[in-house]
Structure 1
Amino acid sequence: MKKLISILASVSMALTIFTPMGLPTEEAAAATTGDVVVNELAWMGTTVDYNDEWIELYNNTGNSISLDGWTLTAADGTPSITLTGSIQADEYFVLERTDDGTLSEVTANQLYSGALSNSGEVLELRDASGALVDEVDAWHAGDNTAKATMSRLDPATSGTDASNWTTATNTYAEGLGTPGTLNSGAGSQDNSCSDTTEHLNQVSNQPDAINIYFNKCALDQYASTGNEANYNVNLEERLLNRINEATTSIDFATYEINLPKVVDALLAKAAEGVEVRVIADAKDATDPHYIERFELMRLYVEEMVRGNDGVVGTADDITVFSDSPMLAVEDQTKRADHNLPSSPNDFPERTIMVGNTEMTGYVFVEGEQQTDGTYYSPDNQMHNKFALIDDKWVFTGSWNFTVTGLYGSDENMANGVLDGNQQHVVEVNSSELAGIYETEFNEMWGSNTLNPDVEQADFSSRKIDNTAHQVTIGGKTVEVFFSPGDDAVGRMAELVKTEADLSTYFTIFAWSDQALVDELKNKWEGSYVDQQGTLTGFDVKGVYDSSFWNQWWSASIEMTGRTATGSTNNPNTRWANAAPVYQDAESRKLHSKTMIIDADTSSDPTVIVGSTNWSTNGNDFNDENLLIIHDSDITNQFVQEFNARYTSAGGVVK
């Protein structure tokens, strides 16, 4: 159990009152002017009904505040609202008139009665002692025709300042406005990401170095002293640096690969005599989601298999192995584009059983065999993306080695524009950690030699837990887990339950694991029971990839109390108190899988990173890797990147 004295020593918590369990309680003292403000008003109603008025409050402080006994009243007596409940630090409190049907995308924190006059109102927000906390003296903005709200620009500036209000331009389901999120045009903080320059601030080649790279922007105003993150980084160049330094061996595990420079670098190293082993994920070649990209990948993989001289079976060939066999692409035009022979007939043409499907073609990559000589289907994913260089450098993270993953398009790649999916990379100079990863690699490879063993190889659920799970690297505790077999997501749930004292922030591509959701719910509102719990003061913030935001299985549904699109699931079996989590606003996918625990405190700041999505597939079927790094500086670097994602999605950070 972490000691309270160390938590109380944190400057950021100096004014927070603690319960015996070490969780911050709601602020009990009288509020001061501007602690909570009237932040947005739909005084004109919505496009559905002009009576559907709503009001949003914003907590301008770093503490949770009880609103019990507070009042929000109009000078003419209507509306006159007695507030109840709590408003979390840096968060919003939405009041809907009459019923909770006004806003389809937001759950009301409180209902009220009484209409707002379209000609204007004078509103006063007072705390339980009657002290004036905020005031709005007129409708300085808003549009009745467009049903666009009156939105506050700066919550730290007076509500009677006409220049501090604007007419909303962001669209929501019932009009123009931003209920429950950052206002249109708001920005008392400089949280923009207009700087696209690469920043390399924390890079070391020394033994025990741990370098963190983000391909998107980070907000380094949140850096601890001298700890600005590496951001807007060209991850391909970082990988090429490591490959080009190899002198003895490269073990390369990749879910996908179509970066020509990386392929060429691997080929060059194999030609120099470096032992290059590649494990590549096989896919269903008939799956419409994968046909084109898997075909492109196989062309690049065949380049590696043939080596620089293009001849099969010579010394410069790269050995490639997979969870399921790969058949060569036979399209002559596409082969010519990759300088491959017009026909792959120098590979054996075979008829093989892959899962329950009989396939005929030129087998150029072998796969794991079943005991009867047939092959496993490619249904489960070899989802790793890591490289081991000279048995000392580990290069891993969420980044697939693809054009889309980093650049977004071939044109962007040609121009050096990083408009791909949001990613992170961790590279570690540790022979001990590299040895653990090599054990995992060899388990899938089936041997510790240059040649794979198709019968001894084990992928997916056929693997066992055969690696150490904790190492010390430069004084930092680093935990390492592989899937399946190690219950990586189970360790995450345990970590949240037993070691998260103050906060958990996350960015996630796909999250469906219920145990992890439940542990975070209990931290957030002190109960595992559906629709029960009282806010504890534990801080939760998160961003989900938008493609999974409305999936019925996504943890986002529970955390926000919504009903998924097209789902009949009962929304009343969700968290009792919606959490401040958002769908991303990235130009492409939010691809990282990152959880940050107790950042910027003295309570063991920890970050969880890697390839593993927090799901049954990610934990029990796909081949994955996950690192848990206990270190304040590294965790703070992830906070800098998280804050950029969070504020762009609509969240507010102090």
Structure 2
Amino acid sequence: MNGKRYLKIIWILGLLAFATYSHSQELITNGSFEDWSNGVPTGWLKESGVNLSQATNPVYHGNYSIALQATGTANAGVYQDVSVTPGVSYTFKVALFAVNGTGTKGVGFLISWFTSGNSFISSTDVKYANVLNSWVVDSIVADAPPDAAYARLRIRCYADNVLGGYADKASFYRTDSPPQGTPPSFTSIVRNPEYPEPNQPFNVVATVSDPDNDIVACSLYYSLNFGSFQGIGPDSSRNNSYYFGIPGQNSGFFVRYYLLAKDQYHTVFSDTFGFQVGGFSFSVYFENDNLVERLGEFIHGATYSLDCCYYEIFNSTIVDSLIAAKGRGVRIRIITDSTYYNEAGVQRLISNGIPVIHEGVGANSTDHIMHNKFIVRDFGDSDPSNDFVWTGSFNAGDYLHVDNVVTIRSTELADAYTKEFNQMWGSSSISPDTLASRTGTRKSDVLSKHIFISGSDTIWLYFSPQDNPIQYVCNFAAKARSSISYLIYSFTRYDLRDTLISLHNRGISVRGVHEDNAGINPVFSDLQNAGIEVYWANISSPYNLLHAKVMIVDTAYVITGSMNWSNNGTGDNDENLLIIRNSSVARLYWEWFKAHFIEAGGYLGVKDAGTGEGTVTKTILFYDDVKFPVGNLVIFDASGREVKKVGSEKYWDGKDSQGRLVKPGIYFVRDEKGNLTGRLIKIK
């Protein structure tokens, strides 16, 4: 299910990069925090009340940034003293990435002025990061007081006992004497092919803008499977374009690379790019695929870790599988809902040494539901090819419902789900930190991006409640050009109701099946009264109810996950929502929808059923034989193959012209003029 485009300019702009200026102009030492000693960046001093770490993600410039985590409630960070001349204007510039808080929280920087006798004079106002989870660059421009001898340049964490954020590329210089010259910049970086097949070499072409015409080097650094970066020079260059060749890699390998350009005074770096060889790999399962067995197989495939964020996870088969995985040495962490924490299966997991918490630990509340159903498998080992995510509507409890599951191999997606899991777990270690744990409305958006692309495939990922995912359901639905088809357990949101009615009024085909419970589907009658084809689900044993939360847009996009279309689902509960653009995945979901739509009493025309022809006016469901009001008809199957002619007897016994019983499925009827007059559905 992988797609590719062989040539695409993946970045066309002056890629943001700070220059490393010559020390005759730059007054800070180690402003990019690349060099460290004894847990502190070289040239900087650490204040009490903060933990520092050399971070590889996120990074604004170079290979590292500095992470600042408060160990108490006092503001603290790192500082560096730099000699200044009284009365001279200086500029202090820093890139900040806030994780917890903005405004007067998170991370910030300031200048404090001191005399030669180390007496404090004054400080500037603090510059704080003004957005979360994104790099911002800001500056302080200030004159040194008349009696100032040195400036204390402070970068600080303004958060209580949590990670405030990151800082990178600090720079301090005389405002009237900025670093010399204009730094080079990357105007385009092209990868060809954009998404290489396994073992297929690829090229990177970098075009550099250099107003001063003093480029001395351009290099590419690449890393395999998150190992160390290795540098290579260009195979050739022409007119400030540099051509690099990188050998092909195995399927599932994760390749990262960035570029470096130097002139006489500056060194600039591009963004770091990454992709997984072979792209996404999807598997889709529905209730008839025995989801308990499929989940057991998924768990059995783990070799390193399983992070399970699961509303119900006490099915005996699944509990046995998890205990067996732990016995193989797999690291397992589980977050479940407090409603089921005392279930025998969950307690058996705990007694076997598997750590389990629920949404109400620490400062969190049980007023909401931990309703996720996702598992991250084997993320964090040295092999990205085994990084998988399992998600959907399926609960591993005592009852079977009409459900769906999708598994996706993607290191980037596994990383995103792991970030959300760690936020709820309170740490990245095997042991939870219940004091740092955040669930429900206490959570923040911890993802640096929500859109993941590989070739022609795209995945959008959002979490409740911090992302308010219902807005994306409405937005994607509103863009439909031909059809909306959905299966839903609970639908209470009026904004989505209004979106669907508006689509219907514009001539877009809208069809839906709801769990047969008006209390959790109050919009059903509104949709029905608007003329939309909606039906109550017709579910038969061994399944208890329609539990899906799925929408198919234009038979091209699938919206799935754990979130019902309700106020609690989007605004209170812990949920995940995936939007997948992949034609093969969409087709599987469409076939699944069709079966349940027909079972619920819905009707699909011939074109919808797959023959490509017009519309039929009559649908008949039958088991053994079917009677017709007229004779001289022809029965044919969905592929257009003639099955049998019906003469004056005016009935069909469900057999073909050779006397063999036909298989259950959809059949169509033509009259003696060749007109389509009806559709037959053989149930069994």
* TM-score tier (shorter): 0.3 to 0.5
Q: Which has the higher helix share?
A: 1
Q: TM-score, normalised by structure 2?
A: 0.45
Rg larger for:
2
Q: Which has the higher strand share?
A: 2
Q: Answer 1 or 2: higher relative contact order, Cα 8 Å, separation at least 6.
A: 1
Q: TM-score, normalised by structure 1?
A: 0.47
